[in-house]
A and B are shown apart, each in its own frame.
Chain A
Amino acid sequence: MKLSYLPGCTLKTKAQDLDLSTVAAMEALDVELEELPRWNCCGTVFSFADDDLMHQIAPVRNLIRAQEQGGDKLVTVCSFCFNTLKRASLLVKENSDKLDTLNTFMDEEEDYTGNINVVHLLEVLRDEVGWDQIEGKVQNPLKDLKVAAYYGCTLHRPKEAAIEPPNKLEALNDLITALGATPVDFPDMTTCCGSYQAVANPEIVINRTREILSSAKESGAEMIAVSCPLCECNLRENQKELGELRMPIIYFTQLLALALGVDPHLHQCEKNPADARSFLESKGLLAACTAAE
């Protein structure tokens, strides 16, 4: 299976481990992620203002690139890209006048027809590959590993752009189970990490991190699996002062790669005060994964 893929800016720089582990793991699952030849920044946040069409140009231009590639799906793994592109795709699908204005503005590109379905990698794993298939391909079961599944905000809110219904937070837990690990009962799966307040009001992010980590600790988790590079950074960078609450943070794609026996690209994890690599090593989970060295 071949699917159009938009990694996004952060995955090409600060979160390369997310990009590389995603591509490697999907290859092991016989899914080829074909990177769009000319993608641009999605704008990172969906514009909430009704009178602001300008900020829809960037996401819609990416949708046109996906359309040019000939598929009907665009896969993203960065939660910010997913939310922004998904919401932009829904906005122009429901408002033909807005789509007309945007199409008139673009001059070099073909018109966007409104038919690209933006999907998150977790949806691809659930709907295109399937949990049973994944379980069958696990080489290195993540035995005795208790993981808190942390979605953050943008995979579940708003409900129109969510990967699953709000009362049914299952995909990430199902994946963790398929990989042989144990998902813990974690009440803060979609609690906000403070997001972009890391720039203007970092104390907000410190407070959020403390709350999320203590909740994960109370749930019995040993590590937290995330999808969003900003959640990852916020939860990792702000635990230095948190003593006993410290916990390794890892992308769900790294767990997937590790279980499938391909390189999980753990180098970024070493920035973590509670180092994910040495933690996984102590669990004996890196031994079976030769590529991890």
Chain B
Amino acid sequence: MKKINPKKTDFIRKVKEISGQNIGLCYQCGTCSGACPNFAESDILPRQLMRRAQLGMEQDVLQSKLPWVCASCLSCTALCPRGIDIAKVMEAVRLLSLRENIDYVNPRELSEETIAKLPQIALISSFRKHTA
């Protein structure tokens, strides 16, 4: 019998703990992939991220573009037939990087034009989602 890899189960436990979601429920129907408006900007689809998370493939999940092009629109969550709040899983994956102090955007690098153009809710929500 193959031994259980404790590193993999630890990653799965963390994702479940932060998201509050049972990722094991996913049966790979792909509804989330069809619903995601930003899949074209990602390297893998939401369904594929869910499978990799179920299998504890930490590096594949953490290095995927998907959680970073996610706009938290909740289209996946609204349609999941298994009742998984997939947007919360994406947030958990983002937080596993952010809590290691790995930021996705650097507020200091934003152009003056961007800051002048965008409303506060755009800047603050981006910093909330993309910085530690």
Interface size of B in residues (CB-CB distance below 8 Å): 40
Q: Determine if B73 and A157 form an interchain contact, defined as CB atoms under 8 angstroms apart.
A: yes
State the majority secondary structure of interface residues on A: loop
Q: Determine if A14 and B119 form an interchain contact, defined as CB atoms under 8 angstroms apart.
A: yes
Q: Give Cα A194 to B122, complex, Å.
A: 10
Q: Which of B24-32, B56-64, B86-94 contacts A (4 or more CB under 8 A)?
A: B86-94
A: interface residue count bin: 35 or more
Chain B residues with Cβ below 8 Å from A41 are 120, 124
Q: Determine if B74 and A196 form an interchain contact, defined as CB atoms under 8 angstroms apart.
A: no
The contact of A44 among B19, B110, B125, by CB within 8 Å, is B125
Q: Determine if A49 and B95 form an interchain contact, defined as CB atoms under 8 angstroms apart.
A: yes
Q: Determine if B105 and A194 form an interchain contact, defined as CB atoms under 8 angstroms apart.
A: no
Q: Give Cα A50 to B95, complex, Å.
A: 11
Shortest CB-to-CB span from B96 to chain A, Å, is 10
Q: Determine if B121 and A10 form an interchain contact, defined as CB atoms under 8 angstroms apart.
A: yes
Q: Determine if B121 and A80 form an interchain contact, defined as CB atoms under 8 angstroms apart.
A: yes
Whether A192 touches B73, Cβ cut-off 8 Å, given contacts A166-B78, A200-B68, A207-B40, is yes
Interface residues of A (CB under 8 A from B): 8-10, 13-15, 41, 43-45, 47-52, 55, 78, 80, 153, 157-159, 166, 191-192, 194-201, 203-204, 207-208, 229-230, 233, 237
For the complex of A and B, 5 pairs with smallest distance between CB atoms: A192-B73, A199-B126, A50-B20, A48-B91, A157-B74
